[in-house]
Each structure stands twice: as structure tokens, then as C-alpha cells.
Amino acid sequence: MSATTAAVLELLLLVAALAVSTPLLGRYLAHVYTSPRHLKVERAAYRIMRVDPDADQHWRSYAMSVLGFSMVGLLIVYAVARLQLHLPQSLGFAGFGPAGAWNTAVSFVSNTNWQWYSGEAAAGYLLQATGLTVQNFVSAAVGMAVAAALARGLARSRNGGRLGNFWTDLVRGTVRVLLPIAFVTALVFVAGGMIENWNAFHTVTTLGGGHQTITGGPVASQESIKLLGTNGGGFYNANSAHPFENPNAFINLVQVYLILLVPFAMAWAFGLIVKDKRQGGAIVATMAVLATAAVSFMTWAEMSGAGTATRLAGAAMEGKETRFGEAASAMFGSATTLTSTGAVNSMHESFTAPGGGIAMFNMMLGEVAPGGVGSGLYGMLMLAIVTVFLCGLMVGRTPEYLGKKIGQHEIVLVALYILTTPTLVLLGAAVAVTASSGLAGLSVGGPHGLSEALYAVTSAANNNGSAFAGITSGTTFWNTLLGLLMLLGRFLPIVFVLALAGRFATARHQPAGAGTLPTHRPLFVALLTGVALVVVGLTYVPALALGPIAESLS
């Protein structure tokens, strides 16, 4: 079988698996985020933690809970990273410096999982499990909670801006959704060859008589939630390229599937929560169109192998694992940048110039196809509102989405949301390439060096976490800058989304009229796809032209 046929069949297998799971998990998610009933164990936990699970929170209160919870998480990861040498299971690794600990704490709390450090040389098991694995779960659950709150806001009518209860959303998302799936897949991963132990690193005498260190760690238990929660932080430096983190091509496909599983299902759940399944279907379809195009284009780029070094070698295998080959590497590379994951099974910096450019483009889309767990859905809904607004302008009517008028207040909030990330990316890139301490981190000059910097700030502000990893980012300058971008890129948009959700929940539900743009038809899918592409195009084309496009053409 030719490599191309195999690549197409692998993609079809992935699509089929997602087509089966999206409606099933979607229905379950809709139930989780709307059911008034608590499980017995949840009720007990709420009592012990002294939170009221039935308080219907105003959007401000909801946002305060998100921020307060995340701030506590940030402080705890910061403290564990700083103090790890004095804690058990540190493997003797020193505590992180202030800038490094700040970067890592923000990184994992904001669902970014950018890593300036090398896991096997810096992070002990206690930090990995109680700091990082925990944030892998809860930062994902926070994103899902915010998306659910927005969906409920759209579904409600005239209720004074109340969105539901954050603590309930957080606990249910974790206990009813993420934990059971992560638990089962962790065991599947071990069966496939992934390690799960707390062994000290030990040395073996190799076949050739040399020595090799065999690393250990509770890898599988972190790995499953790393992908399921679109987190992406590797247990080891090489992330999912490392054989202990991704032992074979079957596990690799499971990883890609896990990355996409919840984001697509959240969009389906959205349709059910707003009581119009077709609306969720339209969002899922738009995500699928963009994702399929990105995967196909990147696969083509990697299989055709442009670049002087690539041509000389004969194929784009630099930075890729033999067991995956070009196609399965490109599929993973696309899935990880189309969502807020950022795990890598191959080194994006060594991708062909168009392949690396698509990775950047995927992130610049705002990670909406299908995007991070939760964040992908609310990002796509912001674009949907822009779409109805533009169409409303064209026909001269007040636009509405799902029966909610899009007035001045609403569109201002949406505009703030849409503008936040590009502002952070472009300002961040400008600062990075004008400061000498920014330039000092780049491994190379010219268009590829600019791509390295642009990729880093894009990845941070969009909470992705992947890198053109030749960059040396473990410096005070880069750790501080990227930490700021990650923090603002995560929590500013969340506040705008919740404020908007609050307005929707306050507004009256209007019946659709003759002038209402139907938002469930193929026409709307096409318009929304177009708007997503135009927004990213207008914002980023100049920057892309100087980086990956210049390199492709040179």
C-alpha cells in the first residue's frame, strides 16, 4: 500500500471514530452541564469543601470563582516548583527560579503547557503529579465550564444574568467526564507500552557495552489527561515523540483522537443545551471543514518535502520518528495546533516551511477547529456572532443569534474577545524581536528566526504550548514575556465570554422573524468558515509573509 493511501485511510479512520463519539459524548456532556441532580459523592465533596453547589451565580460571581480558583492553582504550582528539592519524590532536581516557576505555573493553569524546561532533567515526580497532572485536569475543566456557562446563557431568558454554578461545572467536568476517560485510556496506554512507575532513573549496560539511563515516572496517568484535556505538556522534553510517551502508531492515533474528542463533543452538546441540535451540528461542521483542510494541507506539505535540507535527505524525516512517518506526524501536528494542545510527536521547527506555517495558521485561527476543550467552542461562537453581525449589516437589520439580539454592548464584547489574542501576539512579537534579550533566544536569523519568535508568542497567547523548539526560552526575558501572554491570553477572553453570557441570560428570547439569518444551514457554515479565515487573514498575513511565507518562497 502506498504511503498516500495509508495516510488517507488513517484519516478516514479518525473521522469515523469522531463521527461515532461526537453525538454520544455530546449528549452526555449536555446532561452533565444541565442536570440539577448531584451524585452522592459530589454532594459529600461539596459539603467538605464548603461550597454551595446549587447557587445560581451571576456572571460576575462566576467569573470571580474562575479567577479565584485559577489564582490559587497558580500559587500552588509556583510554590511546588520553587520548593521541589525540599519535597519528596524530587529526584534531586533543584527548585525552579522565580521566572521559570512563574512561567510554568501560568503555563499549566492557563491550559497552555508551554515548557521552557526539560521534564527528565528538571521536574521531579511530585511536581509532575500533584502540580502538573492536577492542572491538566482542572484547567481543562475550567475551559469546559466557561463554554457550558455561555451555552446556558444563550439558552436562558430574562433571568438577571445568572449562568449556573462554577463549582458544580468544575467538579462535574472533572469527575464525570475527564477522570473516567483519562483513567481508562491511561491503562490502554500502558498496555501499548507507555511506562507508569515511580522508579529512580537507572543505568543499563547496552548491547554495545556503553551505558544508557532508563528514565521512569508516572507517565501514562499524566499522558491521557495531557491529550484529553488539550493540555499538551510533555512528561519528557521530547513530548509525544518520546517512545515512552508514544510507543507506537496505534497509540499515536488514540492520542490524536483524544485531542479532538471533547472539543467536537462540546460543540454538539452546545446544540442540545440551546435546545436546537442543528445549531450544534453547524458548529461541528464548520470545525470539521477547517480541520480537514488543515490536516490535508499539512500532510501534503510534509509528504512533498520542500526545503534544501529536506530535499537533500530525500524526505521530511528530520525531527520525525520512524514508526510514525510523515503522514501520522502531520496529522498529530495539525490536531495539536488546531486545538490548544501543543503536544508534539515530531519537531515542528524541522517541518517544511509550509507545514510549519500551517501549524502557526491553525493557532492564529484562535484554535477553534475544534479548539481546546471548552475554549474552542466559545471561540467559534464568538466568530459565529461576528458572522451574523456582518450579515446583519449587509441587509440592514439588527442581527440576532439564537434569538438574542446582538446590540452594541454585545458586539463590543465580541470585538474585545477577537482583538485580545492578535494584540498580544503582534505586540509580543514586536517586543521579542526588538529586545536584544529576545533576539538572544533565537537559534537562527532570517525568516526562520522570525518564525521561531512568532511561533512562540502565537503559541503562548493562544494557550497552545507547542514551539519551534530551537528557541532558548528558559531566560528571564522569555519566561516573563510568555508568562504574561499566556495569562492574559487565557483569562481576558474568559471574562469577556462570561460578561457576554451574562447579557444573553438577561435578554429576552426573541422569536425568529423573516429577516433572521438561519444559523444552522450549510450557507451559514460557509459564511462562518469564511469569516474565520478572513479574520485571521487580515490580522496575521503581514507577519506570516515575513516568516513562513518568505521561507517557502526563498
Partner 1 sequence: MKDIYALYRHSLAGLRVMIGAILLLGVAYPLLVTGISQVSMPWHANGSLITSTGAHTTSSSHAVGSQLLGQVDDNPKLFFNRPSAAGDGYDPTSSYGSNLGPNDPRLVKAIKAVQRTIAAREGVPVSAIPADAVTSSGSGLDPAISPAYADLQVARVAKTNGLSEATVRRLVAQNTHGRALGVLGAAYVNVLTLNIAVEHAAD
CA distance 328 to 282: 28
Q: What is the DSSP code (8-state) at residue 512?
A: P
How far is CA 133 from each of CA 2, 106, 130, rounded to the nearest angstrom?
40, 14, 6
Q: Report residue 208: phi and psi, to 5°.
A: -85, 5
Q: Smallest gap, in angstroms, from Cβ of residue 468 to partner 1?
A: 7
Please choose, out of 326-334, 368-376, 384-392, 419-427, the segment that lies near partner 1 by the rule CB under 8 A.
326-334
17 binds partner 1 (CB under 8 A): no
CA distance 437 to 420: 25
Please choose, out of 23-31, 147-155, 344-352, 533-541, the segment that lies near partner 1 by the rule CB under 8 A.
344-352
Nearer of residues 202 and 278 to partner 1, judged by Cβ = 202
Contact set for partner 1, span 271-310 (CB under 8 A): 306-310
237 binds partner 1 (CB under 8 A): yes
Contact set for partner 1, span 126-165 (CB under 8 A): 129-131, 133-134, 137-138
Using CB under 8 A, pick the residue from 87, 187, 533, 546 that binds partner 1.
187
Contact set for partner 1, span 107-126 (CB under 8 A): 118, 120-121
Helix axes 325-338, 277-304, angle to 10 degrees: 140
Nearer of residues 50 and 86 to partner 1, judged by Cβ = 50
Q: Is 124 helix (H, G, I), strand (E, B) or coil?
A: coil
The continuous run of DSSP H or E covering 162 comes out as: strand 162-164
Check whether the bond before 370 is cis (ω within 30° of 0): yes
The continuous run of DSSP H or E covering 404 comes out as: strand 404-405
The continuous run of DSSP H or E covering 211 comes out as: strand 211-214
Using CB under 8 A, pick the residue from 97, 193, 530, 537 that binds partner 1.
193
Please choose, out of 5-13, 411-419, 431-439, 521-529, the segment that lies near partner 1 by the rule CB under 8 A.
5-13
393 binds partner 1 (CB under 8 A): no
Nearer of residues 31 and 60 to partner 1, judged by Cβ = 60
Using CB under 8 A, pick the residue from 195, 274, 343, 484 that binds partner 1.
195
Q: Smallest gap, in angstroms, from Cβ of residue 200 to partner 1?
A: 10
Q: Which amino acid is residue 75, in one-letter code?
A: L
Residues 6+ apart with CB under 8 A from 379: 366, 367, 368, 371, 493
Q: Which of 141, 178, 163 is nearest to 64 (CA)?
A: 163
Contact set for partner 1, span 407-446 (CB under 8 A): 443-444
Using CB under 8 A, pick the residue from 164, 325, 357, 502 that binds partner 1.
325
Residues 6+ apart with CB under 8 A from 123: 84, 93, 117, 132
Q: How many of the chain's residues bind partner 1 (CB under 8 A)?
A: 127
Please choose, out of 19-27, 177-185, 386-394, 539-547, the segment that lies near partner 1 by the rule CB under 8 A.
177-185
Q: Name residue, grid cell 529526584.
A: 91
Using CB under 8 A, pick the residue from 17, 79, 179, 391 that binds partner 1.
179
Contact set for partner 1, span 467-526 (CB under 8 A): 468-470
